[in-house]
């Protein structure tokens, strides 16, 4: 067989590297993004239209934050619409098995809260009556008698303060707060002609300088949130601790060696007792202590070894024993993290 030239080997290596680089990211372990809900934006010191405005800006933030990879946004504004879908099932109007049932919603790790602290237009005028308008003419420009002019400049400013709150502890996440400003010159927006509704659906508002300033502030917020590395909220930690405590409570029980198959030790404890692959089990030799009359007064449990579970079934498990003691069937086993003498009689 002919050996490939060095150039061919190098080309093949480059091909392999590029092929590996093209492996879809979904092949890698994916990190689960924490869940977050967006509260209605709270406007301060703003007119009669503020309730609709608060919901409108929240809708816009939900849309933009949903595009991020580091958070998973849950619906928070249209909850009543979702409940209405469930009520249709409860009333029997939806075909069997196709309805939305209560208790299936996901919980949120965090809440995104925003407050509008500035929102409006400021207009300044320059010039006024009595100042002629310069017009070109022979001998140079001259002022048009009786004329006057006024220059108007409109500045539209939106400022939004925001923060992310852990729903379990009520703690504001460190590094997850900020203030965003959007400033735009031009024509503002006449709210007296606006009859409410979502801002994102109002083309007049979105095309106005005030609308553009709002979008600038919102985009700044989204860019800042994108940089935050949000880990699992305290809700997840609490759930894990509760699950761990529940598993430990199931494991407060002793069993026995049911079969010694060489180094493989089969025991009477399984998944129904909270055990899983990788858990460590201690083995005890029961030694009866009798009085002079031959009556068994107590049973001493002598620790003789330990196994690590390699296979766990519902009511039994197996692990490999490494030690010099000869293990016997009927010997006592229990979770290695427990003091076997701490178990109540009913737990042994």
Provide the 10 A C-beta neighbour count for residue 317. Answer: 27
What torsion do the CA atoms of 271, 274, 275, 278 make, to the nearest 10 degrees?
120
Q: State the CATH architecture for 35-135+150-236.
A: 3-Layer(aba) Sandwich (3.40)
Find the helix or strand (DSSP H, E) in which 341 lies. none
Share of the chain above pLDDT 90, in %: 40
Determine contact, residues 323/331, Cβ cutoff 8 Å: no
The per-residue pLDDT of the chain, averaged, comes to: 79
- Poorest-pLDDT segment among 15-24, 116-125, 262-271: 15-24
Determine contact, residues 53/43, Cβ cutoff 8 Å: yes
Q: How confident is the model at residue 192 (pLDDT cuts 50, 70, 90)?
A: low
Q: What is the mean pLDDT of residues 129-150?
A: 50
Pick from 209, 192, 211: which is nearest to 201 by CA?
A: 211
Across 45-49, 85-89, 281-285, the highest mean pLDDT is recorded for: 281-285
Enter the CATH code of domain 253-347.
Answer: 2.40.10.410
Q: How do residues 166-176 score in pLDDT, each as one tens digit?
A: 999 999 999 99
pTM more than 0.75? no
Determine contact, residues 156/118, Cβ cutoff 8 Å: no
Dist. CA 256–CA 235, nearest whole Å: 38
- Residue, of 54 and 177, whose pLDDT is higher: 177
Q: How confident is the model at residue 202 (pLDDT cuts 50, 70, 90)?
A: low
pLDDT at 49 over 80: no
Determine contact, residues 208/186, Cβ cutoff 8 Å: yes
Q: What is the mean pLDDT of residues 218-230?
A: 94
pLDDT at 215 over 50: yes
Beta strands 110-128 and 42-43, pairing class: parallel
Q: How do residues 276-298 score in pLDDT, each as one tens digit?
A: 999 999 999 999 999 999 999 99
User: What six digits make up the tokens of 117?
Assistant: 């602290």
The size of the chain, in residues, is: 348
Domains in the chain: boundaries: 35-135+150-236, 253-347
- Residue, of 207 and 319, whose pLDDT is higher: 319
Q: How confident is the model at residue 344 (pLDDT cuts 50, 70, 90)?
A: low
Q: What is the mean pLDDT of residues 258-283?
A: 94
Q: What is the mean pLDDT of residues 79-95?
A: 87
Provide the 10 A C-beta neighbour count for residue 48. Answer: 10
Q: How far is CA 226 from the centre of its chain?
A: 13
The angle formed by the CA atoms of residues 123, 181 and 111, to the nearest 5 degrees, is 135
């Amino acid at each position: 067989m002919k050996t490939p030239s060095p150039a061919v080997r190098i080309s093949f290596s480059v091909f392999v590297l590029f092929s590996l680089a093209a492996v879809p990211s979904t092949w890698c372990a994916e990190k689960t993004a924490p869940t977050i809900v967006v509260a209605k934006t709270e406007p301060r010191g703003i007119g009669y239209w503020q309730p609709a405005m608060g919901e409108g800006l929240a809708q816009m933030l939900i849309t933009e934050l949903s595009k991020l990879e580091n958070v998973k946004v849950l619906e928070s504004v249209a909850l009543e619409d979702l409940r209405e879908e469930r009520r249709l099932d409860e009333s029997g109007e939806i075909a069997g098995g196709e309805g939305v049932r209560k208790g299936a919603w996901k919980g949120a790790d965090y809440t995104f809260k925003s407050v509008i602290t500035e929102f409006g237009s400021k207009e300044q005028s320059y010039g006024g009556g009595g100042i002629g308008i310069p017009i070109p003419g022979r001998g140079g420009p001259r002022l048009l008698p009786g004329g006057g002019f006024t220059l108007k400049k409109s500045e539209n400013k939106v400022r939004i303060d925001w923060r992310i709150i852990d729903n379990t502890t009520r703690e504001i996440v460190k590094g997850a707060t900020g203030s965003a400003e959007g400033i735009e010159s031009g024509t503002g927006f006449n709210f007296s002609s606006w009859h409410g509704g979502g801002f994102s659906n109002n083309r007049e508002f979105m095309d106005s300088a005030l609308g553009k300033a709002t979008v600038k502030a919102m985009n700044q917020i989204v860019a800042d949130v994108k940089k935050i590395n949000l880990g699992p909220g305290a809700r997840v930690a609490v759930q894990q601790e509760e699950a761990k405590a529940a598993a430990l409570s199931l494991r407060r029980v002793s069993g026995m060696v049911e079969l010694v198959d060489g180094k493989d030790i089969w025991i009477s404890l399984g998944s129904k007792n909270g055990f899983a692959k990788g858990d460590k089990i201690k083995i005890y030799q029961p030694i009866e202590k009798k009085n002079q009359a031959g009556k068994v007064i107590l049973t001493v449990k002598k620790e003789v070894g330990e196994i690590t579970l390699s296979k766990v079934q519902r009511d039994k498990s197996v692990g490999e024993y490494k030690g010099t003691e000869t293990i016997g069937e009927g010997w006592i086993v229990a979770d290695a993290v427990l003091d076997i003498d701490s178990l109540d009689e009913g737990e042994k």
